Amino acid sequence: MKIVMLGAPGAGKGTQAEKLASKYGLPHVSTGDIFRKNIKEGTELGKEAKGYMDAGALVPDELTVRLLLDRVSNDDCDLGYILDGFPRTIPQAEALDRELAKLEEKIDFAINVEVPDDNIIERMSGRRACLKCGATYHLQYIPPKKEGICDECGSELVIRDDDKPETVKNRLATYHEQTQPLVDYYKKQGVYHEVDGTKDVDSVFDSIRDILE
C-alpha cells in the first residue's frame, strides 16, 4: 500500500503518518525529517537544504526527487510506504508516478489532512520535535511524558528553526501556491480523500483508517 499524506504545514501529517506506519507496518518516509537529519549532521545536503527551509521555501525539486526516489528504492519500501511531505509540487508528483509506472505500480491513497490556516499558527507555536527519531509533540495537546524529552528515544526536544511565526506564514503561502494543486492532481487519479484535521489525533486517525479499510 502506497500512501501520500497531503496537508498544510502543521496540519498533522507527520503525527498521523507515524501512527499509520506503526499500525500497518510500513515505513514513514518524511522528506522534512531527512533534511533535518542532514542539517543536524552537517552534511552537504543539509547545508544546501537549510537556507530554503529557514526561509519557508521549498528545496529544489531536482534535489528532493533524487533523495526521495533513492529512499523508496530501499528494501523496507518493497511492500509500500507512507510519504509525508512528498510530493509537494506537481513536478515531484509526476516524477514519482513515472518511477512507479516503470514498476507497473501507482499511489493507492492520497489523504489530505484539512486544517484552516488560523489553527496552524497556534499548533506550530506549541510544537516540540525530536530531531533524532522524528517524533513530534505539542505542549498542550500531545505533551511528552517527561518535559523536554522524547518518549521514543530519550533525546532532547527542540523548537524547529522553521516554526518561527514569520517562517510559518511563508510556509503557508508556499503551500497554497505550490502544493495545493496536488489536490486536483490526485482527484483526477481517483485516489484523493479528505479528513477533518481539526479533530483530536485519535479521531483523525479513525477517519483515515476508515478510508484505508
From the list 2, 36, 50, 127, the catalytic residue is: 127
* 2 included as an active-site residue: no
Q: How far is the CB of 43 from ligand AP5 (least distance, A)?
A: 15
Select from 140, 137, 139 the least CA-distant residue to 129. 137
From the list 13, 19, 123, 128, the catalytic residue is: 13
Looking at beta carbons only, is 71 or 92 nearer to ligand AP5?
92
* 128 included as an active-site residue: no
d(CA 176, CA 193) in angstroms, rounded, equals: 18
Q: How far is the CB of 72 from ligand AP5 (least distance, A)?
A: 13
Looking at beta carbons only, is 7 or 27 nearer to ligand AP5?
7
User: Taking the alpha carbons of 192, 109, 21, 204 in that order, is the dihedral positive or negative?
Assistant: positive
* 102 included as an active-site residue: no
Find the residue with minimal CB distance to ligand AP5.
32
Q: How far is the CB of 209 from ligand AP5 (least distance, A)?
A: 14
Looking at beta carbons only, is 143 or 154 nearer to ligand AP5?
143
Distances (CA, A) of 72 to 76, 120, 172: 8, 29, 27
* 171 included as an active-site residue: yes
* 36 included as an active-site residue: no
Q: How far is the CB of 116 from ligand AP5 (least distance, A)?
A: 13
Contact residues for ligand AP5, defined by CB under 6 A: 7, 9-15, 30-32, 35, 52-53, 57-59, 64, 85-86, 88, 92, 123, 126-127, 136-138, 141-142, 162, 171, 197, 200-201, 204
Give φ, ψ of 192 to 5 degrees: -85, 135
Place of cell 484552516: 116
Q: Provide the annotated active-site residues.
A: 13, 88, 127, 160, 171
